[in-house]
Amino acid sequence: MHDTLKKKVPPERYVKPDDILINSTGAGTAGRIAQIEDVPSATTIDGHMILIRSNGKVTQKFLGYALKAHQWEVLQLDEGSTGQTELNRDRLLDEIMINYPVSFDEQNAIVGTLESIDRKLIVNEQLNDNLHQQAATLFKALFVDLTPFDGTMPPNWTISTLGDATEMGAGGDKPKESSPVKTPLCPYPIYSNGINDYGLYGYTNDPKIKVESVTVSARGTIGYVCLRHTPYVPIVRLVTLIPDTKVLSAKYLYLYLRQLHITGTGTTQQQLTVPDFRKTEIIIPDKNTMDSFTETVTPLFEQIWANEDENTKLAEVRDALLPKLMSGEIDVSDIQL
């Protein structure tokens, strides 16, 4: 974003709906493609972004999907030393080949098929946001505001520490056996401290954590909390917490940590350390209250996970269709969703 009152910006640098943006710099980010759906206010781009617009032979939306079909190849066009990588724009124009039907009606039909999947993905994400809010609202009323107890913590509740109430550990090195995608040999997710895709780093063959648990990022976006319900492997810069189920549930622990302002220590680079984090206090309700709360929110989380599973399958269908539709291998009229 730029203050256009201070510096005149050429009209062509203003972002429009359906514009395609490609990140042109940064290790791990150069080559990422996005298509803008809506521009709520005047927005411009700087020299770190490549703006792509159709020359009229294809619709802008079709071009966006066509480029996304080549996302992997575009990511390989970055050049330079570690931390200073930049996308080679000449290679982007010369090496990325786009197939397209001449008919705009056929282009629109292909876009319509892919957009129908994307709309369902968005609906499921919105449903999950609402379900998360319901669980968080209930947690706040019961355990933060103490609404049923006139704002006073009941005498049979206790205050413990995360060190006493959980088994806490730090993620290790990346497994030797790993894959960037899920395969029959590597079906278990590897999680890092990232926030994209809940920190998904890749997949491996042997999970380290096999019970419902919570992870917290210890570097970068410190304090990013995730509830994990399937077996996985945590790697560096990720703290894992396995609750003592005699006194609290993973769902309670997750919601409790989400409402904390988790910070790190250090002067040059902030980080969250296990010894310090173990000292963090946590309220432990009586067993009946804990069990009742967990029983109430469990259906909410189960629906969230079902929606996430559906989105994973929908994304797989879309990603499988995308190159075949763009190459003409599959006729869009043969697809029924």
Report CA-CA distances (Å) from 162 to 199, 254, 263, 271, 281: 22, 12, 15, 17, 6
Q: What are phi and psi of 191, to 5 degrees?
A: -115, 140
Which listed CATH number (1.10.15.40, 3.50.50.60, 3.90.220.20, 1.10.3720.10) goes with 158-284?
Answer: 3.90.220.20
**Given this model, what pLDDT does residue 221 score?**
86
Mean pLDDT in each 10-residue stretch from start to end of the chain (337 residues)?
62 89 82 90 88 94 92 86 76 90 93 95 98 98 97 97 97 93 94 90 96 94 95 95 98 97 72 94 98 98 98 92 87 78
Report CA-CA distances (Å) from 324 to 60, 111, 243, 263, 331: 19, 13, 46, 47, 9
Chain centroid to CA 32: 14
**Given this model, what pLDDT does residue 286 score?**
98
**Given this model, what pLDDT does residue 264 score?**
74
User: Domain 11-100 belongs to what architecture?
Assistant: Alpha-Beta Complex (3.90)
**Given this model, what pLDDT does residue 82 score?**
56
User: Cα angle vertex 123, ends 315, 299, to 5°?
Assistant: 95
**Given this model, what pLDDT does residue 239 score?**
97
Q: How many helices (H) and strands (E) does the chain have?
A: 8, 15
Instruction: Show the tokens assigned to 300.
Output: 């909410």
**Given this model, what pLDDT does residue 259 score?**
94
Q: What is the pTM of this model?
A: 0.83
Residues of the chain with CATH 3.90.220.20: 11-100, 158-284
Instruction: Show the tokens assigned to 58.
Output: 């294809």
Instruction: Show the tokens assigned to 326.
Output: 């763009």
Could you please report the per-residue DSSP string of 235-262?
BTTEEEEEE-TTT--HHHHHHHHHTS--
**Given this model, what pLDDT does residue 4 score?**
54
